[in-house]
């Protein structure tokens, strides 16, 4: 049983093509959609925004964010280190990629292939506790954000606690408080977690603003 739970944790963090990866993809499409939609909504994306999603998975949040970028200067970037999710999202976003609105990268949050201070909004869902190095990932996100740019993280703490209690994602740094402390140490300000509710379902949103001169 422990081997199965360990394998499930690995697949949730980095799905691979195959039966396990397909099941994780279906799970994310069904259960993560809610958090993705709300992360995009709370990010307050404007038509001209430059936006980054970290850990885009099957691409549902990317689709929602792309709808809001109606100005030619609006640009959406996505980063994920699962080759399978990259392929799935690339097919799903094919039209926007071909139009130049969306660019997807296969890689790690510790090495984001973007220039310094170019992003207005960053969002991610159920993601930070899979980062190999929380400090390095936070520093790299901070680097690519413009002064005053906003990052939004959405999680469902109640569900997350149930998953951890069941033995899945064990060994990860899932509690939000250490993550928020790392953000503050990195230079983010106004770091706070708020309880939210949408259509009768509760979740948590963590906000952080890049404090740059």
Q: Is the pLDDT of residue 5 over 60?
A: no
pLDDT bucket at 6, cuts 50 / 70 / 90: low
The predicted-structure confidence for 45-61, as pLDDT tens digits, reads as follows 999 999 999 999 999 99
DSSP 49-75: -EEEEES-TTSHHHHHHHHH--STT-E
Pairwise CA distance, residues 106 & 88, whole Å: 12
Pairwise CA distance, residues 24 & 12, whole Å: 6
Q: Is the pLDDT of residue 33 over 80?
A: yes
Identify the weakest region by mean pLDDT among 17-26, 71-80, 198-207.
17-26
pTM for this one? 0.93
* CATH number of domain containing 43: 3.40.50.150
Contacts of 40 (CB under 8 A, 6+ apart): 61, 64, 65, 68, 123
**The total number of structural domains that make up the chain:** 1
Contacts of 190 (CB under 8 A, 6+ apart): 207, 208, 209
Q: Is the pLDDT of residue 1 over 80?
A: no
For residue 35 the two structure tokens come to 């958090």
Pairwise CA distance, residues 63 & 90, whole Å: 11
Residue 157 is part of which domain span? 2-210
The predicted-structure confidence for 78-126, as pLDDT tens digits, reads as follows 999 999 999 999 999 999 999 999 999 999 999 999 999 999 999 999 8
């Amino acid at each position: 049983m422990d081997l199965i739970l360990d394998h499930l944790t690995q697949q949730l963090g980095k799905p691979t093509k195959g039966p396990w990866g397909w099941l994780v993809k279906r799970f994310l499409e069904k259960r993560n959609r809610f958090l993705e939609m709300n992360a995009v909504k709370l990010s307050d994306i404007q038509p001209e925004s430059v936006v980054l999603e970290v850990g885009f998975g099957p691409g549902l949040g990317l689709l929602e964010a792309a709808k809001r970028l109606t100005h030619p200067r609006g640009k959406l970037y996505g980063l994920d280190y699962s080759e399978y999710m990259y392929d799935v999202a690339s097919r799903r976003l094919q039209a926007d990629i071909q139009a130049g609105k969306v660019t997807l990268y296969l890689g790690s949050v510790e090495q984001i292939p973007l220039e310094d201070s170019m992003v207005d909004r960053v969002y991610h869902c159920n993601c930070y506790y899979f980062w190999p190095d929380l400090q390095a990932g936070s520093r790299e996100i901070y680097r690519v954000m413009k002064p005053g740019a906003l990052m939004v993280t959405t999680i469902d703490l109640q569900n997350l606690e149930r998953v951890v209690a069941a033995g899945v994602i064990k060994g990860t740094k899932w509690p939000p408080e250490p993550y928020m402390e790392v953000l503050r140490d990195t230079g983010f300000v106004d770091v706070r977690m708020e309880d939210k509710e949408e259509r009768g379902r509760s979740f948590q949103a963590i906000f952080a603003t890049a404090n740059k001169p």
